[in-house]
């Protein structure tokens, strides 16, 4: 026997996703046009996609370097 508690909120997933930022594909794809990390990083070509990947990699390296520097101090 299972009892469900109703708190008055609609918990169904049938409604529109009004909080979604754009229309991004939910799977691995290699088509340009998605926002990457910043609103201004929306690669529209293959070269821009490569540059965005390099930029995100460099951001990750800098973040790890800052983390190491903070732990040493």
Give the pLDDT band of residue 40 (cuts 50, 70, 90).
confident
pTM listed for this prediction: 0.51
Q: What is the pLDDT averaged over residues 32-55? A: 78
- DSSP string across 13-65: S-S--TT--S---SS----S---BSBTT----SHHHHHHHHHHHHHHHHHHHH
SS3 66: helix
Per-residue pLDDT at 13: 55
């Amino acid at each position: 026997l299972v009892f469900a508690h109703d708190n008055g909120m609609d918990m169904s997933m049938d409604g529109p996703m009004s909080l979604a930022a754009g229309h991004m594909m939910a799977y691995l794809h290699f088509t340009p046009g998605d926002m990457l990390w910043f609103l201004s990083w929306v690669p529209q070509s293959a070269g821009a996609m490569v540059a965005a990947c390099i930029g995100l990699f460099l951001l990750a390296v800098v973040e790890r370097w800052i983390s190491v520097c903070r732990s040493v101090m």
